[in-house]
Structure 1
């Protein structure tokens, strides 16, 4: 466990780097910690990164690959708060995960669970992600 926490702390520190490559790496590294409150807050910030869309895309892809309700919930929150450009890159990141070699069917299941979330923005974001996921499986 101590090694895992040092990985978490290192990724949290990287998330505020001025270098987009380090922020993108932090997003990928933090995705598995989506259920940890400190990581969740930072991940939403990375999903809505105002300086580089690669950070948005790679963080969304990493969270979609994790595919847990906690991970997809963070994408849903970001989708609800995103401007049109950010939403496009969030969608691209989710799409990248869904069409990858190990597609992620859990995203649709997580969206089904999030459709009943207490927070309206989460329900709204999950509905959009669900539509994206369904659009990929033509």
Structure 2
């Protein structure tokens, strides 16, 4: 098993842990695998974590820092499915990435690419994320 595959497998195990701290770590570790089909379901589950908002926030931040179309697409899917509380924490996670050290790729540009996504939920979520990225900066 390669180191890459081992890292993915270990993170997938952590994603279903009863420990919120392990799920936070899984969200961070899996973010770089946003384009790997085996990680997609786990990442969306972490973004919509029903038990701890820290998992939602940290996973959204990690994916926003990756900033690729697959990573932002997963946040957009979660935004479309999220309840109001989850959506608030998704927004805070994206904001944390935008305001954090080192900067992130231009999320609004990535969201502009997602307006052509075949899934309506992704297009709707991407519009919300784009508004967050263009909104007032603290």
Q: Structure 2 length as normaliser, TM-score?
A: 0.97
Aligned to 1:47: 47
Aligned to 1:101: 101
> Size of the alignment, in residue pairs?
138
What is the CA–CA distance in structure 2 between the aligned matches of 1:36 and 1:107, rounded to whole Å? 20
Q: Could you tell me whether the CA contact under 8 Å between 2:64 and 2:71 is conserved in 1?
A: yes
Q: Could you tell me whether the CA contact under 8 Å between 1:98 and 1:136 is conserved in 2?
A: no
Aligned to 2:90: 90
What is the CA–CA distance in structure 1 between the aligned matches of 2:115 and 2:7, rounded to whole Å? 32
Q: Deviations over 1:89-135 (max 9, x none)?
A: 00000000001112223311110100111100000000000000001
**CA RMSD after TM alignment:** 1.2
Match of 1:117, SS state, is: coil
Aligned to 2:22: 22
Q: Could you tell me whether the CA contact under 8 Å between 1:99 and 1:136 is conserved in 2?
A: no
Q: Structure 1 length as normaliser, TM-score?
A: 0.97
What is the CA–CA distance in structure 2 between the aligned matches of 1:71 and 1:43, rounded to whole Å? 9
Q: Could you tell me whether the CA contact under 8 Å between 1:47 and 1:56 is conserved in 2?
A: yes
What is the CA–CA distance in structure 1 between the aligned matches of 2:21 and 2:37, rounded to whole Å? 23
Q: Could you tell me whether the CA contact under 8 Å between 2:72 and 2:111 is conserved in 1?
A: yes
Aligned to 2:5: 5
Residues 108-117 or 53-62, more deviating = 108-117
Aligned to 1:80: 80
Q: Could you tell me whether the CA contact under 8 Å between 2:65 and 2:105 is conserved in 1?
A: no
Moved over 2 A (4+): none
Runs of at least 5 residues in structure 2 that lack an aligned partner in the other structure? none
What is the CA–CA distance in structure 1 between the aligned matches of 2:25 and 2:37, rounded to whole Å? 19
